[in-house]
Structure 1
């Protein structure tokens, strides 16, 4: 099956406004509002209530952001990243980052054995784990936004700066992965310890994706794809 055909049957396919593949990056944009949807689908029998009910459940959004990239990576080995724009929020998921966050090789997952079922049960259908992975994807996307906007530092340099700020007590990483900054000495030793543990956990995923992106940046193709979609 071609990926263009596959995108017609993913979760929420009815509400996809635009999708394309650019340099092995899949771009999926959902309609942001019912009015936006009706402007293009004037003859559709779907009502505004139908549209609102579909996306009003936060679970549906999380299942799309967490589940659909994994399904795409499993089915199409040439796809390196998936970008989803949903409810005016953009999410970037790379094959490397998803593998690092789940400690799995997504390409090895199969419907012919229990590997895909186990992955889906643990990361897509388990509400707590789904929320956790969604938060990590969201945080990774935020980091990528910063790197696109301020790419004068390499990823390693950025991590060194953050580690230095943690040491000085002027930065800490919260349990949800967000970073807080303050005056030197604001955060105490427990904050430092927890932040360093979080940094160690996240830097594997960030480095995996960072090295991949850095390599692609040499010809500008992947970064341009991501930047164009975000903008």
Structure 2
């Protein structure tokens, strides 16, 4: 019995250690500006880092987020991402910024970020936003947001934004990972490569196979 308790304790400690590390690792230096030069760089957290003596203010800077993105696509939205590829100084700092533009009645369709919580602020327009909790509750939390309103989407949960207005809308969001990832539900389910067996989706969605065939033939916007 004592051995069982010891094993249980070890399992709990291992799980706690895993959960504590299930996010971007904390940096052990002031910064680690990403570079592609493997001759002069130091390899840290998956990137080569610039010699700190060569770092300049431009490594922590970008511009152009005042420019609207092209929303002339089927979903009527555009996501402009500011990550380590755009600001090398973001490397190891565990954060990403996005600008999201919405055409009238455009949407950022249901999706998840497997490695990040998202906090969104509306800069212009009116958005209907929401997220759904995990099984078995699948509870929807939804809100109408106006300019200046802020909403949080917890890590890994399916969420969306929809422009309810007749005018363009703009939002900015911060995500708590250098590489938050994104899985757009419709794209993943109906636009996978290769396609998921239609018999699987027919049973999963409880619809006629013709519906699945139709959906799998659509062009899914990689937003």
Compute the TM-score of the two structures, normalised by the length of structure 2: 0.26
- Greater Rg over alpha carbons, structure: 2
The normalised TM-score by structure 1 is 0.25
| Higher normalized strand content (fraction of residues) | 2
The structure with the greater share of residues assigned to helix is 1
